[in-house]
Amino acid sequence: MVAGACLLVGLGTGIWLGSRGMSWETGPEARAARKFQEFLGIVADEYVHPVAVDSLVEVTFNDVLGRLDPHSVYLPQSDALRLDEELAGAYEGIGMEYRWIRDTVAVVSVRGPARKKGLRPSDRLIAVDGVPVVGWSSDSLVGVLKGPAGSSVQVSVWSPRAKTVRKVTVQRASIAVPSVRAARLDSGRVGYLRIERFGEHTPEEVRSFLRQAKRERLSGVVVDLRGNGGGFLAAGVAAADEFLSAGKTVVWTVGRTGPPERTVATAGGSFEKGAVVVLVDGETASAAEIFAAALQDHRRAPLIGKNTFGKGLVQDERVLRDGSRLRLTTAVYLTPKKKNIQRLGKGAAGDGTGGLRPNVELSLDTLYGPHWLGSVRQLEAFDQLTFAWAESDRGRTHEVWVTDERLWQFLAEAGLEEAVASMTEQDVEWIRFALTLEQIRFQRGAQAYLELQLTRDYAVDAALALLKSSRP
């Protein structure tokens, strides 16, 4: 693995793990604490309406931290646990993914315990432990479906195939949530690796992919960091180490006192010599930026896309007595060439540009399709119709592609018939493609969705062109 400090980047924010004793018995901190306690007491006792002091204090914490820099933050225990779960790469529950369709909980995919108990995509969740789920919020539903591994929950589901409601008791288990997704490009000659976050198991997942790439003698690898807001910094460093030879600097960390600390790559990387291209965008941040910078600075891989976000501050995480957490900026990190990538603002000390500049810059529309397509996906009819089409076509082996009839059905139900008059033919085809992708997701799963998505990803096309031009 990688020599150097163990850091955590909580979804884009650099975090040291450690502790430091402090005394609040004397000095300005003690005076401020007594003043704040006196202030809260007066507000709680004398304000015209009852005051929830705990909520008031939590708001105050983040108001204070917001005056320091953009990334120091206070997290209530529930938020901290949710982030822990995401980065741990697993959760405890029944293994069911769902969507709300016309006020109904529609099962989209199942695995683990839910699959073993016979739940299937397109089933409708009617009740949990005998309580109807109509009118529930998503948070409430997640709260009852998740629980300690080994515990059980009863779900009532209606099957559109059997036309019956059945009650199923499912024992919860630990459900792995991979942080990477992989595919093959260029007729199987190039590997594609999308790293969605840098979690606890990401280095192992990256290493496994790269070793398979070597066994298959792939001509190159495209690493996609678009939308990756960070995660564990140590995971980002370890993943970069797989591409770098021993002794190469991965990251510098500069604290309030003491000399800069250098973290270097070790020997034995899984892909130290193969051709690599990295895709980035404005949401590529923190641990993902460290990974990208390490490969770019050492001329190991060019970056393609947009300027990255620019998060270069390291936080020290402290667990408070009630389980809530304080993440306070205590250092900055620098790229191997000692560039500070932090965007301008409070706590910044960089050169003002912020983030990493790609070697090949692409327009936003080239990266994602038309900018307005995201709004189309948010329309209620989008999920409703694509789910209905997936149900209608489920089990059929023919190629899935939204027909003209279905396209115009969507445009009518979404109220876009008049808007279409001002669209180009290419715009309309983008809508058809988005509808087809979502039907594929519902009907055949996330992997089929990814593979179809990559056929019309112009950033991937640019990466393949760059890889081909660099071949001897």
Give residues with Cβ within 8 angstroms of 467, minimum separation 6: 190, 219, 220, 222, 275, 277
The helix (run of H) or strand (run of E) holding residue 174 is strand 173-176
Q: What is the CATH number of the domain that holds 136?
A: 2.30.42.10
Nearest CA among 137, 136, 135, 172 for reference residue 154: 172
Residue 327: inside a domain: no
Nearest CA among 216, 188, 269, 227 for reference residue 464: 188
Active site residue 297: yes
Task: Check 186, 297, 427, 461 and give the catalytic one.
Answer: 297
Residue 102: inside a domain: yes
- Do 262 and 203 lie in one domain? The reply is yes
Which residue among 154, 176, 198 closes a domain? 176
Q: Quick one: pLDDT at residue 17?
A: 40
- Do 48 and 109 lie in one domain? The reply is no
Domain count, the chain: 4
Residue 194: inside a domain: yes
Ordered per-residue pLDDT tens for the chain, 472 residues: 444 333 444 444 444 344 444 455 667 888 888 898 899 999 999 999 998 888 888 888 989 999 998 899 999 988 888 888 888 999 999 999 999 988 889 999 999 999 999 999 889 999 999 999 998 988 899 999 999 999 999 999 998 888 899 999 999 999 999 999 999 999 999 999 999 999 999 999 999 999 999 999 999 999 999 999 998 889 999 999 999 999 999 999 999 888 999 999 999 999 999 999 999 999 999 999 999 999 999 999 999 999 999 999 888 889 999 899 999 988 899 999 999 999 865 444 444 468 999 999 998 777 777 889 999 999 999 999 999 999 888 877 677 899 999 999 999 999 999 999 899 999 999 999 999 999 999 998 999 999 999 999 999 999 999 999 986 5
Give residues with Cβ within 8 angstroms of 111, minimum separation 6: 95, 175
- pTM reported for the whole predicted model: 0.88
Which residue among 176, 211, 241 closes a domain? 176
Burial class (CB in 10 A: 0-12, 13-18, 19+), 24: exposed
Active site residue 383: no
- Do 145 and 259 lie in one domain? The reply is no
Task: Check 311, 316, 383, 457 and give the catalytic one.
Answer: 311
Task: Check 72, 156, 179, 286 and give the catalytic one.
Answer: 286
Cα–Cα distance between 109 and 128 in angstroms, integer? 18
- Do 460 and 386 lie in one domain? The reply is yes
Active site residue 103: no
Residue 223: inside a domain: yes
Task: State the angle between helix axes of 233-241 and 202-215 in degrees (0 to 180), rounded to the nearest 10.
Answer: 20
Burial class (CB in 10 A: 0-12, 13-18, 19+), 424: exposed
Cα–Cα distance between 107 and 98 in angstroms, integer? 4
Cα-Cα end-to-end distance for the chain: 31
159 neighbors 123 (Cβ within 8 angstroms): yes
Q: Quick one: pLDDT at residue 345?
A: 57
- Do 193 and 270 lie in one domain? The reply is yes
Residue 2: inside a domain: no
Nearest CA among 359, 352, 258 for reference residue 312: 352
- Do 221 and 108 lie in one domain? The reply is no
Residue 322: inside a domain: no
Q: Quick one: pLDDT at residue 54?
A: 85
Residue 323: inside a domain: no
Q: Quick one: pLDDT at residue 317?
A: 85
Task: Provide the pairing of β-strand 124-128 with 131-132.
Answer: antiparallel
- Do 31 and 18 lie in one domain? The reply is yes
Cα–Cα distance between 301 and 269 in angstroms, integer? 15
Domain that holds residue 378: 368-466
